[in-house]
Every structure is written in structure tokens, then in C-alpha cells.
Amino acid sequence: MKITVNIELAHSELNRAPQIQAALAELSPSAVVRFKTDTTALSDRIKKAIQTKQYDAVVNELVERLSYPVTFDASLEVMCTVALFSKGRADSGESVAPFIDVVPRLPEEAQSRAKEAIVQRAVAFLSKPRRLDCSRISLLVYAEAIAVMVKKELLSIRNVIGTVVQMIESETSRTAGMTCLGKLVEIAYEATRNCDPVSLSALRAAVRYAQSNDIFLYDVEYIMEAFGWSSCKPALSLRRSTSHHENPILTLAYCGGANCREVVVTSSSDGTIGTWDGVGVLLQNVLLSRHYASCVDLTNRGHTLIVGAVGRYSNTPPAVIFYNEDGNRKAQWQECGGTEPDDASFLSCLKCLKDPSGSRYCVGVRTSSANPLLLYDGSRVTQRYFDHSDIITAIHVPSDRDNVVVTGSRDCSTLLYDLRDPRNVSSMAHHNNTVSCITSCDNYLFTAGLDKRLVVADLRMLRGSTANRDMDSAVLSVSVNSSLQCAVSTLTGVYVINFANGTNVPTSSHADCGGSSLRFNTVCWNNAGNILYGGGEGRTLDLFAPTYDGNVFEA
């Protein structure tokens, strides 16, 4: 007689498995006993724990299930799939640490089996052949698990570094290796930094080798800066920082060049608009009584200021306010008119169009039913565009193209308008999150967004991109000078990325932002490209000068 029995035990009954097995063996020595795990139910409990951030119950259950050989394999598979290496868990922002903490609580034999199985699974996935420019999204969860295990002292950092070096040295796994190293620096920095000198030397050589690929410019900079390996001086040096606003600076506008008045205008949520000369000396303060300026721009060769103003109170509608330079008082603004866009609840951005009269501009507004781009001549609307499905978050008017406007939106799209033909709208889909800023230089269009991506496209082709850069965090502002040095402001500071060849500026380098501000909401080069203005959380107007071979280029 042959008996086959499939038994599913609740986690509270796992300790009865040996007795059940013995009892069935008494019925027949040839009895085959299979202990089953309800993997669907266990998976649901893990997902609920991640969703509610209540881990104790499910972690205790996993410890118990993994402690028994009969349920080890199925339980580990569920934990790996739903928790350790789950993209959903990572996307929710939840750490893998609570599930890694299961491992040291296991009996010695089960702990060894679990560590070996987890590492083998991670390394097998990370070592798969991939292109250098492959997406890193799927790699991050595996790299995070390895880094947390190092931090918890479950893995030898020396062995992990050896594996990472091997991956970096191979072109097919270099992206995975650099991703793992970045996570080690982020999560297990002390353990990595304190590894033996031989391992660190091999790691440094591998990082230098990866530096030959433009794809890893940010990774190399981040890692070398963390370990103090980089000999490059910051690409920017803080030259002046001037206080004025009581709240963070939201935006700024600059005008300069031949036959133009050089002026910088900053705005803050405190309702003040500061006017500065080109070297950062405050010339005038304008105080708005019922509004604050969410966007500003200069036209008429720096002699006209147009302000997009948002009401401080719910019953105050947004407005566009015009200022001209006061003829009797040099460098002073005098209000000369305004308009309130119909049905607008918010003005998100504003840019002046190329026009000798200085009266034409475009505004992105939010209404009760749409997110239109409005073209104005003075206070009169001349054209309306309704192509974006969400609020317009960026507008750019290329300086060398008379009839072109480029917009970006929270709907992730970038649209290019030819104002000569209202039907001529080109669309670009380079981002998967809000497009936060747009600029251009010659035939190059630069767009960046909250997806951490900086994309450079050819204005003549639009569909393709000529270069992409993944930044460390969401991009708040970009500005590019005539030398194709692109200043990029992220949540952690300002970077300079050089898209030209044959210069001595580091291809990608973090700026020395000083102690006044870590987050710049807005940055802008001057006309000569030798001063970068920045304003943000520090509430100061900061002036940076580029450095070349460690020497500051004096403006």
C-alpha cells in the first residue's frame, strides 16, 4: 500500500510537523508526506505588511516558517519575490531591511541556507549580460538587498567588493556593478570605506576604468567624491551670496548682452521682487500687496519686467503685472498696467516672446476645466492652445528662433509650437514624470524633470535625443551657456555638465555651493557665461564663477 498525503499547516502549527510525519509513517512505512505552504496567502500578508508598515507579525511568521526545513523553500521563494526583490516594495519607498532582519533570527543551518540562496539569486540576476545603457530599475532592488546585508554584517564586504569589481570589469555586467557600488556607498558606506586597502585599491581601479563610459559619469563622480578619490576641483566656486528675501527664492530672470541693460530679477513667496545688477548688488525691492510672483521675465532689452502673480488669499485672482523702467529714477521699476486671465486659478509660468515692442508674452495657466497656453499682446489674448492634459510647468522661448515656443507639463510631455501656424504642434516624449525646466543653445534643446533625467535633443529633429544624463535626484532648474556648459540644479545642489569637447572643465562636477543653500529652485548663466546666478532655499542670490584647472575664472 502506498499513501501520499499533502498537508498544509498554519504557521502556528509548524512545530507539529515531526509528530504528524511520525504518525503517518506508522500507518505505512512507504507513506509520502508533503508539507504545503499556502504561498498566495503568505504573499498577501507580506504585501499588506508593506502597505501598512506593520512588519512584526509577518516577520515573526517568516522566521518560524524558514526555521522548519519542510516549509523553508516555499517560504523563502515568497519572501524573495514579494519582499526582497520586489519592485512594488521599492516603488512604495519601503526599505528591504525588515525582511533582511529575518535572516539573523534563523537557526544556524537555516541562516546559512537563506544567505546563500539570497546571494546566489541576486548575483545570478545582476550578472546577466546587459547593454551599458540599460534601465537600472530592475537592478536596484537586488543591489539594495546586497547593501543592506553588508550593513547588517551578514556578508563579508571584502567578498562583495571582489564580486562588484568583477562585474565592473566586464562590459556586459558593468552597469549592474556600478549600481551595486552606488548602493553600497549609499547604505553601507562605513563598512565599504573601512575595507582592507587591497580591496579598495582594486575597487578604485575598476571605478576609473568605468569612467571611460559617459553613461557612468554621475556614478563615478558620486563614488569618487564619497571616498575622496577625485582630484578634480569643483566646477563652480561661490563668489558672492547676498541676503534680501525673507522666504525662499522661487524664480529669477536675467537680461544682458550688447545694447541691453544687465539686470537680474528674483521673486519670493514673501511677496517681494528683488532687482540686482550683474554683480549681485541690490538695486530695488518691489513689494506686492496682495500677490506673490510665481514667475517673472524681462523684455525690451531689460527695460520691461512682466510678472506672473498669484494671489496670497483665496479670493484674490492671479494676475499679470507690467513694469517699465522709470525714466526719472534710474534702475527703478514703475508699474504700468496688468491683466487678469479669465477663469484662471493659477499662473504656473510666463515667458516673453521676441518682439521689439516688448508687449508679447505667453502664460501657462490653470482654469477650472483646462491647462491652456495663452499668448498675449499687452492685456489682449491673441491665441489659446489646449494641447496639455495637465498643468504647464515650464515654458521656453529660444533666443534665436522668432516664432518657436516650447512647453513642458506635469503630463510628462514636451510640446513645440510654431506660432505662425496654430495647428503646427510637435510633441516629444522624453520623460516619465513632470517636465520641470527647458532651455536651449544653438540647435540643442535641453529638458529635465522630476524623473531625474536631463535630455538633450536636436531642435531640428525632435524625435530622437543626442544625449541623456541621469542625475542624483529630481531636477529643479537648468541653464546652458554658449560654451555648452549646462548648470543643473537638483535637490542636492548644483552640477555642471560640459557638452562641449576640448575644455578643461570636468565633464560632470558638483559645485561648491557654500553653506548658504543646498537647494536652488532656479539657476541662470549671465550673457558671457562666466557667472551663474542661483536662488532657492537659502533665500540669497548666489553668484558662482567657473573654475578652470582649479583656478577661479574672474568675472
Q: What is the pLDDT along the chain (555 residues), one digit of tens a residue?
A: 455 545 555 555 555 556 665 655 565 666 555 556 778 888 999 999 999 999 999 999 899 889 888 788 888 999 999 999 998 888 888 899 999 999 999 999 999 999 999 999 999 999 999 998 899 999 999 999 999 999 999 999 999 999 999 999 999 999 999 999 999 999 999 999 888 888 998 998 888 888 777 788 788 888 887 887 765 556 778 889 999 999 999 999 999 988 899 999 999 999 999 999 999 999 999 999 889 999 999 999 999 999 999 998 888 999 999 999 877 777 789 999 999 998 899 999 999 998 777 789 999 999 989 999 999 999 999 999 999 999 999 999 998 887 899 999 999 999 999 988 877 788 888 899 999 999 999 889 999 999 988 999 888 776 666 677 888 789 999 999 988 889 999 887 888 887 875 333 444 455 544 444 468 999 999 999 999 999 998 899 999 988 754 444 443
Give pLDDT, residue 222: 82
Total-model pTM: 0.62
- Quick one: which of 282, 286, 240, 278 has its CA closest to 260? 278
The torsion angles phi and psi of 245, rounded to 5 degrees, stand at: -75, 150
Question: What distance in Å separates the CA atoms of residue 404 and residue 29, rounded to the nearest whole number?
Answer: 85
Report the C-alpha dihedral over residues 123, 128, 131, 137, rounded to 10 degrees.
-50
Give pLDDT, residue 19: 61
Domains defined along the chain, listed by start: 39-227 (1.25.40), 236-546 (2.130.10.10)
Specify whether the CB–CB gap between 335 and 321 falls below 8 A: yes
Question: What distance in Å separates the CA atoms of residue 155 and residue 202, rounded to the nearest whole number?
Answer: 19
Secondary structure (DSSP) of 194-241: TS-HHHHHHHHHHHHHHTTSGGGHHHHHHHHHHHT---PPPSEEEEEE
Secondary structure (DSSP) of 8-27: E--GGGGGGHHHHHHHHHHH
- Quick one: which of 243, 273, 261 has its CA closest to 330? 261
Question: Quick check: helix, strand or coil at residue 164?
Answer: helix
Question: At how many degrees (to 10) do helices 174-187 and 108-126 cross?
Answer: 130
The torsion angles phi and psi of 498, rounded to 5 degrees, stand at: -95, 115
Question: Quick check: helix, strand or coil at residue 499?
Answer: coil
